[in-house]
């Protein structure tokens, strides 16, 4: 197949070193993801200094593998895309330095991509011809945001978490329950065997019609609940606790997203980010949106968690608007989504 455009994409914002070759913004020719999860597991979370070192070790082999799996030559690349924030500064700098060097050496443009915009574009890999306007729920370890997207390159945050992100709460509670890292998939496994009606945990709906989230109350409720049971020497069913806790997170994610879709009269919702790989969330979201006549687009789990293919897809649309970055581009650890706008 003849492609008109090929982008080398790099993602190193947290604990995955990833490189991809994406053609014409929709064909993933390769998407190599080298995860550091094993290294961080014994610390119960990502250790920033270790993450940077591991990125340095992995970046060259990962990029080589991306070229070889795509059967792509260096001279076929039309642009280099790289995540420049938000994320861990040391981790971001590894990918960014590599990306700049690659763009300079290959004599092609550099396209800096906001990690959140990247997550959102995983939805466009799933369905490149999706209709605008749409709403996206970006739900990951660092973010829980509802975003209005009227066209490519325009992102308006309608609501976001006021404290912890959904993935962060799953990770923290899982840790308190003695489950492994990352917590989301562990909670999902236990929850599948539990009764989601056994215990009642709080849901924070906030002000009427608000699309913001708050998960810290739920987190405290869970931590207290676990602590009290321990003090009373009460044996809890881990499966039931996981099921009820997961249900509390899902209820709020689903209802707020439905509200966002209805308020803005959109017919499509994209759900992206690591937590979007949760099967129960996918099922409940699809069912509820279906009742409102709204279609759900969710990428495959590999494209939900951090990966470079989504960065390459986002870069394709930015490149079409000739929005290039210069070689002075710096890492921005707390980059906001509004900075992702380019139209």
Binding residues vs Zn ion (CB under 5 A): 140, 306
DSSP secondary structure string, 50-112? HHHHHHHHHHHHHHHHHHHHTT--GGG--EEEEEEESS-HHHHHHHHHHHHHHHHHHT--EEE
C-alpha radius of gyration, the chain, whole number = 20
Q: Which of 79, 167, 194, 312 binds ligand KG4 (CB under 6 A)?
A: 167
CB 297 within 8 A of CB 9: no
Other C-beta atoms closer than 10 Å to the C-beta of 46 total 19
In whole angstroms, how close is the CB of 265 to ligand KG4 at the nearest point? 28
305 is in the binding site of which of ligand KG4, Zn ion, none (Cβ under 5 to 8 A by kind)? ligand KG4
Q: Which of 271, 277, 308, 340 binds ligand KG4 (CB under 6 A)?
A: 277
In whole angstroms, how close is the CB of 127 to ligand KG4 at the nearest point? 19
Q: 148 is written with which tokens? A: 């209005």
Q: Is 95 in the site for ligand KG4 (CB under 6 A)?
A: no
Q: Which of 126, 212, 240, 306 binds ligand KG4 (CB under 6 A)?
A: 306
Other C-beta atoms closer than 10 Å to the C-beta of 249 total 27
In whole angstroms, how close is the CB of 115 to Zn ion at the nearest point? 6
Q: Is 142 in the site for ligand KG4 (CB under 6 A)?
A: yes
Q: Of 141, 137, 96, whose CA–CA distance to 114 is shortest?
A: 96
* H-run or E-run covering 112: strand 110-114
Q: Is 140 in the site for ligand KG4 (CB under 6 A)?
A: yes
In the bound state with Zn ion, the residue whose beta carbon lies nearer, of 186 and 306, is 306
Number of residues that bind ligand KG4 (CB under 6 A): 19
**Residues interacting with ligand KG4, by CB under 6 A?**
14, 140-142, 167, 170-171, 182-185, 188, 273-275, 277-278, 305-306
């Amino acid at each position: 197949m003849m492609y008109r455009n090929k982008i080398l994409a790099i993602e190193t914002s947290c604990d995955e070193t990833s490189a991809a070759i994406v053609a014409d913004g929709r064909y993933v020719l390769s998407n190599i993801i080298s995860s550091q999860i094993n290294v961080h597991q014994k610390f119960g979370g990502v250790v920033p200094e270790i993450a940077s070192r591991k990125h340095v070790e992995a970046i060259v082999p990962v990029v080589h593998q991306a070229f070889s799996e795509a059967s792509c030559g260096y001279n076929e690349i039309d642009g280099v895309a790289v995540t420049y924030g938000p994320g861990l500064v040391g981790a971001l700098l590894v990918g960014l330095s590599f990306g700049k060097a690659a763009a300079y050496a290959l004599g092609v443009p550099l396209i800096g991509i906001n990690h959140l915009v990247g997550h959102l574009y995983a939805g466009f890999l799933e369905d490149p011809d999706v209709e605008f306007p749409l709403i996206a729920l970006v739900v990951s370890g660092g973010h829980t945001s509802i975003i209005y997207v009227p066209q490519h390159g325009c992102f308006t945050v309608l609501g976001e978490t006021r404290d912890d992100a959904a993935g962060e709460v799953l990770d923290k509670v899982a840790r308190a329950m003695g489950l492994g890292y990352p917590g989301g998939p562990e909670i999902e496994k236990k929850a599948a065997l539990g009764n989601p009606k056994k215990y009642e945990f709080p849901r924070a709906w906030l002000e009427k019609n608000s699309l913001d989230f708050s998960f810290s109350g739920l987190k405290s409720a869970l931590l207290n609940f676990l602590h009290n049971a321990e003090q009373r020497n009460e044996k809890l069913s881990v499966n039931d606790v996981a099921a009820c806790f997961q249900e509390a997170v899902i209820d709020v994610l689903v209802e707020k997203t439905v509200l966002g879709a209805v308020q803005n009269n959109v017919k499509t919702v994209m759900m992206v980010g690591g937590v979007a790989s949760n099967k129960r969330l996918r099922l409940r979201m699809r069912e509820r949106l279906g009742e409102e006549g709204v279609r759900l687009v969710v990428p495959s789990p590999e494209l939900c968690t951090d990966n470079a293919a989504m960065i390459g897809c986002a870069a394709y649309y930015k490149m079409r608007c000739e929005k290039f970055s210069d070689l002075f581009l710096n890492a921005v650890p707390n980059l906001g989504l509004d900075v992702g706008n380019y139209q």
